[in-house]
Amino acid sequence: MKKTEVWPARGRLLRRAREKLEGMNDSLRAVLEAVGRFLFGFLLGRVSLPGGIAPLGGAFVAACGDGGHGAAAAAGVMLGSAAGYGLAGGLRGAASALLIYSALFLLREWKLTARPFFAPLTAAFMTGLIGAVYLRYEGAGGPGLILWAAEWLLAGGLCLLFRAGMKREGGSALGAVLLAMALCMALGDLKIAGVISIGRTAAACAVLTAAWLGRASAGALAGLLLGIALDLAGGTPGVCTLALGCAGALGGAASGRSRLLCALGCILGNAAAAFWGAGSEVRTGLLYEFFIASVLFLLPTESFFENLRRRQEPQGPGGLLHYVQGRVALAARAMEELGTLLRDTPEEGRGEDPFGVFDVAAQEVCRPCPRRETCWGREYETTRGALLEARESIRQRGSARPEDLPLWFRDACLNVRDLTDAVSREWKAAALRRQMRARLREDRDLLDRQYADFAAVLRDLAAHSAAREETALTARLRLFLRDYAPGVAPSAFRDVGGRLHVELAGPGKGALLRKEGWLDSLSQAAGTELLCPDEGGKRLKLYEREPLEAEVGVAACCKGGKAPSGDVARSFKTAEGVLYIVVADGMGSGPEAAAESAGAADLAEMLLRAGIEPETALRTLNTALILRGEKRLSALCFDLMSVNLFTGEACVYKYGAAPSYVRSGREVRALKGETAAAGTEDVGPDCTRLYLESGSAAVILSDGAARAENVAERLRTCVPEGLQALASAILSEAAAQGGWEDDMTVLTLSLRKREEPGIA
């Protein structure tokens, strides 16, 4: 297959730049995650529970594991312990973090480390070991033993919960809550102006959010848990628990009405509890902190909270898509392995040795001969030379005669006629075996190609199943439709090419369609112009409008003026915003050629609409035509042009087709192919890639219309409005040059930039 590229493929360059940026983003994300774990470890290293025990830092290090994230967490915990308690006081927490990470790192090759209980047990053992050393030298009694046991038990249990809370998929809600509690504890003693605690302010924001999203029960539970954590870290028994719990319960009672009422409820509940059970300093801080948290709570838009609410819902469909994508990718790999197995099949056969034919014949004729020991023993080399001397004559004729052998050999041989007859039979049998092996080799190669094409189809389908859901846009459309068209549920996603798809379903769909200007209103809500190609079906499908629009013109005539034509020309646009132009030219003319061309065009259209890449689709079509040719000759010229109406990327694929002409600016290029017609050779199509801008035009011809002259010059001077007239003029000239001796088809294409819709 020949591939060429003409004109700078800016769309491809942008895509490559985006891929590099995504790669850089992955590296940057890994660095930021390591920095985040270091900072979190630093904060947890400063936290101690009543009695002076500090199990949080070691548990977090064990939950991060033996990799770079674990090293960052261990470094943060050690530095945080030293910063919070001084070099001597922080030695206990730093030693625990160092020993836990060292044990995980040094034992990482053990199979046992893959078990889920290994890291928690390591955290508990190392924390208990360091605690035992301190217990031995401090000489503590019963209370010290209780605190020591509580420390290592908490280290192991918190490790399990922290690790579950940090999972990106299927994480534990309790683990995430404990991480939030630990963070509030770590930030509790960091104060602004000596009064406003950063940890208590963050806890107040969390309580407000929980009350708004989950009503009174969730708000009260979040307040109680975070309050307990703050009381443990700050030495204010019951104060923060009461204040945050009352705030969450009273604020949650106003959930679902307005965020302002929810914030006022939380402020009132916090104020009542603070004046009842807190001292003046803590009371003042709680009042300020909840006021700041209420302002921060009112700043985001409703779509932000809608997105949080959706994240709390089960993600079954997303997991199902991931599962299906993995299964399809595995099936594609299996198809490739089947093709490899066919290619690696050894070929065996007899008669390939130039002397093998004579050897087989001699085994049949010479075995009972009394001269066998002489001819095939003492005089073996002489006999072999005589037979090989006759090989060229036998090859040219395809059979053996006595006169092909030397005279002295014919005089000495007792069964010369029988020998030549046996050589003739074996020569023909060897030729037949060679033909059969060649045929089997061709069939095996063709089957290998089929498996490879099928694997490519599956890979394309797996790629298209990775569409990106637009959760924020879906939430925004849901809020808009809640008042504009009740009973309509939206769903928005972007395909692998980046085009926005919006689907609407529900009992209110009919009422929506009866509203005047509904599509413009929905486009305003989505922030981009949408189009609706079809209003039928249970689900209303809308697509982002393409920045480029195309106009296709066609002129065609039949051989001798008698229908039907053997040429089939069509154009269609897929849901991804790609325009395809197809010209199929069957062998000859009349109903049989028309059916051949229409069947090939239908198959190509189905594959392309399914999301299969054009090259894969055409290879599959070519293989099908070759297999069909086993019963009857089935070959056709095939021309396919694809244009991405978002990026301007275009490709021209040819199987034995006439040249096409493409204009960009004032330059016109003739795109020719060297590949034979589809159905004749097991090869891929010729492929030429281009980048088309607004104002570009193209002319695609069938073989019959290729007789026209000066097509390139006419295309260069033609205006976009005259492309249909250009198609008719080219058709008339081709008919004048060669008469009506063949079916003729001319297609023209013009691209222009769509007018801006003015969407805000």
Query: How far apart are alpha carbons 313 and 651 in whole angstroms?
Result: 43
Give the strand pairing for 649-655 and 686-691: antiparallel
pLDDT of residue 643 exceeding 90: yes
pLDDT of residue 319 exceeding 50: no
Nearest to 125 by CA among 55, 177, 66: 55
Give the strand pairing for 540-544 and 548-557: unpaired
Tell me: do 153 and 229 sit in the same domain.
Answer: no
Joined tokens for residue 105: 């790192």
Query: How far apart are alpha carbons 140 and 3 in whole angstroms?
Result: 81
The alpha carbon of 302 is separated from its chain's Cα centroid by a whole number of angstroms, namely 31
The answer to the question of residue 13 being in a domain is no
Residues 6+ apart with CB under 8 A from 364: 422
The answer to the question of residue 452 being in a domain is no
Task: Report which secondary-structure segment, H or E, holds 3.
Answer: strand 3-5
From 144-148, 459-463, 695-699, the region with the lowest mean pLDDT: 459-463
Query: How far apart are alpha carbons 86 and 105 in whole angstroms?
Result: 27
Task: Report which secondary-structure segment, H or E, holds 478.
Answer: helix 471-484
Contact 519, 530 (CB under 8 A): yes
pLDDT of residue 240 exceeding 90: no
**What does the pLDDT read at residue 217?**
73
Query: How far apart are alpha carbons 566 and 556 in whole angstroms?
Result: 11
Mean per-residue pLDDT, 17-38: 66
Q: Number of folded domains in the chain? A: 5
The answer to the question of residue 345 being in a domain is no
Tell me: do 46 and 147 sit in the same domain.
Answer: yes
pTM of the model: 0.51
Only one residue has tokens 């629009």, namely: 549
With left for phi above 0 and alpha for psi between -120 and 50, is residue 656 left, alpha or beta? Answer: left
Mean per-residue pLDDT, 463-471: 68
CA quadruple 343, 349, 352, 353: dihedral sign: positive
Joined tokens for residue 519: 């599509």
Q: How confident is the model at residue 448 (pLDDT cuts 50, 70, 90)?
A: low
Joined tokens for residue 605: 């259209």
From 99-108, 346-355, 523-532, the region with the lowest mean pLDDT: 346-355
Residues 6+ apart with CB under 8 A from 499: 543, 544, 575, 576, 577, 646
Query: How far apart are alpha carbons 389 and 434 in whole angstroms?
Result: 22
Tell me: do 695 and 663 sit in the same domain.
Answer: yes
The answer to the question of residue 388 being in a domain is yes
Say which amino acid occupies 484: Y
Say which amino acid occupies 485: A
Tell me: do 569 and 671 sit in the same domain.
Answer: yes
Only one residue has tokens 């069509």, namely: 570
Task: Report which secondary-structure segment, H or E, holds 651.
Answer: strand 649-655
From 27-31, 226-230, 469-473, the region with the lowest mean pLDDT: 27-31
Tell me: do 661 and 570 sit in the same domain.
Answer: yes
**Which residue stretches of 46-141 are H helix?**
56-64, 68-89, 91-106, 118-138
The DSSP call for residue 678 is B
**What does the pLDDT read at residue 10?**
46
Nearest to 101 by CA among 79, 132, 124, 122: 122
Joined tokens for residue 193: 């102006």
Q: How confident is the model at residue 323 (pLDDT cuts 50, 70, 90)?
A: very low
The answer to the question of residue 746 being in a domain is yes
Neighbours of 277 (CB within 10 A): 18
Strands (DSSP E) contained in 499-577 are: 500-505, 530-531, 540-544, 548-557, 567-573
Give the strand pairing for 567-573 and 540-544: unpaired
**What does the pLDDT read at residue 351?**
41
Say which amino acid occupies 516: E
With left for phi above 0 and alpha for psi between -120 and 50, is residue 639 left, alpha or beta? Answer: beta
Q: How confident is the model at residue 236 (pLDDT cuts 50, 70, 90)?
A: low
739 burial level (CB within 10 Å; 0-12, 13-18, 19+): exposed
Say which amino acid occupies 548: L
From 283-297, 570-584, 644-658, the region with the lowest mean pLDDT: 283-297
pLDDT of residue 327 exceeding 90: no
**Which residue stretches of 188-258 are H helix?**
198-234, 239-253
Mean per-residue pLDDT, 524-537: 83
From 99-103, 346-350, 419-423, the region with the lowest mean pLDDT: 346-350
Mean per-residue pLDDT, 48-62: 75
Q: Write down which residue in 139, 169, 199 finishes a domain.
A: 169
The answer to the question of residue 12 being in a domain is no
Indicate the average pLDDT of the chain.
Answer: 76
* pLDDT: which is higher, 65 or 86: 65
**What does the pLDDT read at residue 644?**
92
Query: How far apart are alpha carbons 99 and 123 in whole angstroms?
Result: 9
Task: Report which secondary-structure segment, H or E, holds 639.
Answer: strand 636-644
H/E/C letters for each residue in 123-163? Answer: HHHHHHHHHHHHHHHHCCCHHHHHHHHHHHHHHHHHHHHHH
Tell me: do 522 and 560 sit in the same domain.
Answer: no
Mean per-residue pLDDT, 586-595: 79
The answer to the question of residue 722 being in a domain is yes
Tell me: do 119 and 195 sit in the same domain.
Answer: no
Per residue in 555-564, is it b (16+ CB within 10 Å) or e — as a string? bbbbbeeeeb
The alpha carbon of 760 is separated from its chain's Cα centroid by a whole number of angstroms, namely 31
Total number of residues shown for the chain: 760
The DSSP call for residue 565 is P
Summarize pLDDT for 367-402 with one digit per residue, the tens: 788 887 777 777 778 877 777 777 777 777 777 887
The answer to the question of residue 745 being in a domain is yes
Q: Write down which residue in 484, 518, 544 finishes a domain.
A: 544
Only one residue has tokens 């900072």, namely: 39
Domain containing residue 57: 27-169
Half-sphere exposure of 366 (CA within 13 A, CB side): 21
Q: Write down which residue in 261, 280, 299 finishes a domain.
A: 299
Tell me: do 31 and 82 sit in the same domain.
Answer: yes
Q: Which CATH number characterizes residue 606's domain?
A: 3.60.40.10
Contact 63, 162 (CB under 8 A): yes
Query: How far apart are alpha carbons 271 and 264 in whole angstroms?
Result: 10
Joined tokens for residue 738: 């060669």
Give the strand pairing for 686-691 and 3-5: parallel
Contact 546, 531 (CB under 8 A): no
Distances (CA, A) of 417 to 67, 190, 382, 723: 84, 112, 19, 77
The DSSP call for residue 640 is E
**What does the pLDDT read at residue 269?**
78
Mean per-residue pLDDT, 334-361: 57
Mean per-residue pLDDT, 530-557: 85
Tell me: do 574 and 527 sit in the same domain.
Answer: no
Joined tokens for residue 234: 């700050």
Angle CA(497)–CA(500)–CA(503) in degrees, nearest 5? 130
Joined tokens for residue 479: 């809020």
Per residue in 414-449, is it b (16+ CB within 10 Å) or e — as a string? eebeebbbbbbbbbeebeeeeeeeeeeeeeeeeebb
**What does the pLDDT read at residue 592?**
82
Query: How far apart are alpha carbons 77 and 94 in whole angstroms?
Result: 6
Query: How far apart are alpha carbons 668 and 718 in whole angstroms?
Result: 12
Query: How far apart are alpha carbons 415 and 419 in whole angstroms?
Result: 6
Query: How far apart are alpha carbons 190 and 243 in whole angstroms?
Result: 19
**What does the pLDDT read at residue 653?**
94
pLDDT of residue 47 exceeding 60: yes
Using DSSP, state whether 681 is helix, strand or coil. Answer: coil
Residues 6+ apart with CB under 8 A from 506: 487, 488, 489
Say which amino acid occupies 105: F
Joined tokens for residue 153: 């038990």
Tell me: do 653 and 667 sit in the same domain.
Answer: yes
Query: How far apart are alpha carbons 236 and 272 in whole angstroms?
Result: 17
H/E/C letters for each residue in 420-449? Answer: HHHHHHHHHHHHHHHHHHHHHHHHHHHHHH
Summarize pLDDT for 80-122 with one digit per residue, the tens: 888 776 655 667 778 888 888 888 888 877 767 667 778 888 8
Contact 635, 588 (CB under 8 A): no
Tell me: do 577 and 706 sit in the same domain.
Answer: yes
**What does the pLDDT read at residue 654?**
92
Mean per-residue pLDDT, 288-306: 79
Could you tell me which residues are beta bridge partners of residue 687?
3, 653
Query: How far apart are alpha carbons 36 and 29 in whole angstroms?
Result: 10
Joined tokens for residue 630: 């086993």
Tell me: do 668 and 717 sit in the same domain.
Answer: yes
**What does the pLDDT read at residue 315?**
40
Say which amino acid occupies 243: A
**What does the pLDDT read at residue 113?**
67
Query: How far apart are alpha carbons 529 and 546 in whole angstroms?
Result: 9
**What does the pLDDT read at residue 25?**
56
* pLDDT: which is higher, 582 or 28: 582
